Amino acid sequence: MEHIIIVLSTVLLSTAMFIFWVTKGGFNRKFLYTDNIALAIVSTIINLGIFHLIEMPLWLMTPFVSGTVVLILFIILFFYRFFRNPVRVIPGDRNDIVSPADGRVIYIKELERDQIPVTIKKKRVASIQEITKTDILEQPCYLIGIAMTLFDVHYNRAPIDGKIIMVKHTSGSAIGLNNPESTLVNERNTTVFEREDGVKAGVVQIAARWVDRCIVMTDEGQTLKRGQIFGKIRWGSQADLIIPRNCEILVREGEQVFAGSTIIAKILKD
């Protein structure tokens, strides 16, 4: 009976932790059926081993010892998830724009050159210049916001083939991304890529609360291939993709995307 209680309590503690991060932290629901199950199994084995080796009352074993084991293993799992840099197969051809970041699409918005500020799902989206802090992309475009959680890979990849024609850092605040003003006032890097035929795409790395910094690992004038790493953001954050209007959008709001391996849009040929 004691073993059953330990197993059930461990599974419940692990599941409760993942449900919290799915509902409050924006984690992908798939982690409830992958990482949660793995964490629950390993934690259960360790907890049963501890209970056999060390004599202690059940009220101490559950939930205190069991909870500590689950928490420690969750932190180890987090560091593995956050700092990994998996190999990505880049799909499609040169006219396929790939995602610059892992995360969930939180908005897809058409912006005009002189866009009047509006609100999208509690996030204020204003002029292109106000978002990018530059006028180099000031043209009708699509603005696609990608929210990156703590379990997402935090390396950023080039959305198109091309030369980096601008890297601009803008200092700012570090308020939570659930605040409507965060996409306008937080620290950011704007990186602009330009193909030989003049097609431009921009990526705005936006820092969140507790973010150490946004990092661009490449220089202006450097030429990158689609899906090649150009930067990273430490801890939770957001990446906004700015692409031309002559594109067919291939993702939807709420969809999970992956840097370099998810095709966000296709540039329509003239």
**What are the pLDDT tens digits along the chain (270 aa)?**
888 999 999 999 999 988 988 887 667 788 888 889 999 999 999 999 999 898 888 888 888 899 999 999 999 988 888 778 899 999 999 999 999 999 999 999 887 765 544 444 445 555 566 566 666 666 788 999 998 887 888 899 999 999 999 998 887 665 545 555 545 567 888 999 999 999 999 999 987 765 556 788 899 999 999 999 999 887 668 899 999 989 999 999 999 999 999 999 999 876
* Catalytically active residues, by annotation: 237
Residue 78 DSSP label: H
Instruction: List helix spans (H) across 166-257.
Output: 182-185
CA dist., res. 161 & res. 7, Å (int): 51
pLDDT value for 118: 45
CATH number of 96-267: 2.70.70.10
pTM above 0.85, yes or no: no
pLDDT value for 231: 92
pLDDT value for 196: 92
Amino acid at 172: G
Burial of 163 (0-12, 13-18, 19+ CB in 10 A): middle
pLDDT value for 120: 45
Tokens 């790395």, located at residue: 205
CA dist., res. 107 & res. 18, Å (int): 24
CA dist., res. 160 & res. 262, Å (int): 12
Contact 126, 89 (CB under 8 A): no
Residue 233's nearest CA partner among 208, 209, 215 is: 215
Contact 203, 237 (CB under 8 A): no
The residue extents of the domains of the chain are: 2-83, 96-267
